[in-house]
Amino acid sequence: MSTEPPSIEPRQTGYLVILGAGVMGTGIGTVALGHGFDVLLVDPDPDQLARAEAGIDRGLRLAQLMGRLPDGMDWGALRTSGSPDALDHPRAVIEAVTENYAVKAELLAKVSAALPAGTPLISNTSSIPVNELAGTVLRPEDLLGTHFMNPPTLIRTVEVIRGPRTGEAVVAATGRLLTELGRRAVVVNDAPGFVTSRVLHPMINTAARVVQAGTAAPEEVDALMEGCLGHPTGPLRTADLIGIDNLVDSLQVLWERTGDESCKPCDLLLAKVRAGELGRKSGTGFYTYETPQTPQTFEEKQ
């Protein structure tokens, strides 16, 4: 089956609100702007917003050079705000803050009260079940999950999570939105970690345990997974791309909700988080990078 996204449809009216100006919020915002959507990017830290604006500008130009944006389409306009208080009938709201239930639930509850009925309220989550978050919002039928992969400008398939209380109208509206963003939506049912994280994250955890045990270095693990098993980047380079702190948060969610010991974050991952070795965004993880990104810190500002 082809993984190419559907052809771009004409953009409908409306703008997108993105909550959180960290790595994922910046990446999703870049995709939206590059496909002609106006975007309101919300984060309580003005320095983070400034970094995100610069990152979006770089990301748009790089995506254009790589042929990842539609030809001949004007980019949308970016606005920023420190608060989601004044929302004027957005097309959809995408929450992209840290993978922490309490932070997501508080923010989604606040925003849901300010939205017209039928507005898709989308939590970009890698592991937290949508139904848990649905208990905190005004209209559970308007809430669903997405899992954009990092970097969103390059990965065109998006996992869409339908919670048991999610309305079909909002699933359909989100599918149309993703099509206009040049993305292929794959809709799955709700569960801890859904499909991608439930399969990928325990594998990364196991790869880290192999390094922890001294069986092989990260480069050797990744070389074997790439060369023998066809993994495109290797699990430990993938961990650096996800962000090791985000990976640990997701694994913790999976372990607590499933009891699967393969999801219990291993000591090496925990040690890297304590040391600030978070992957690409910090400049050091399993590998070292010349141009670190700023870690997502929305949780610390609540």
Please confirm, yes or no, whether 201 is among the known catalytic residues: no
Residue the block writes with tokens 């070292």: 288
Which of these is catalytic: 89, 147, 201, 231? 147
To which H or E segment does residue 188 belong?
strand 184-189
Asked if residues 156 and 182 have their Cβ atoms less than 8 Å apart, the reply is: yes
Query: Six-digit token pair at 46?
Result: 């003005």
Smallest Cα–Cα separation from 92: which of 144, 153, 26, 46? 144
Q: Are 93 and 120 in contact (CB under 8 A)?
A: yes
**What are the CA-CA distances from residue 140 to residues 101, 160, 162, 164 (Å)?**
16, 16, 11, 9
The torsion of the CA quartet 120, 124, 126, 127, rounded to 10 degrees, works out to -50
Q: In the β-sheet with 157-162, what is the strand arrangement from edge to edge? A: 78-81, 39-42, 16-19, 92-95, 121-124, 143-147, 157-162, 184-189
- CB neighbour list of residue 293: distance below 8 Å, 6 or more residues apart: 23, 55, 280, 281
Strands 39-42 and 143-147: unpaired
Both tokens assigned to 144: 């669903």
Query: By three-state DSSP, how is residue 143 classified?
Result: strand
Helix 196-212 with 244-258: angle, nearest 10 deg = 110
Active site residues: 147
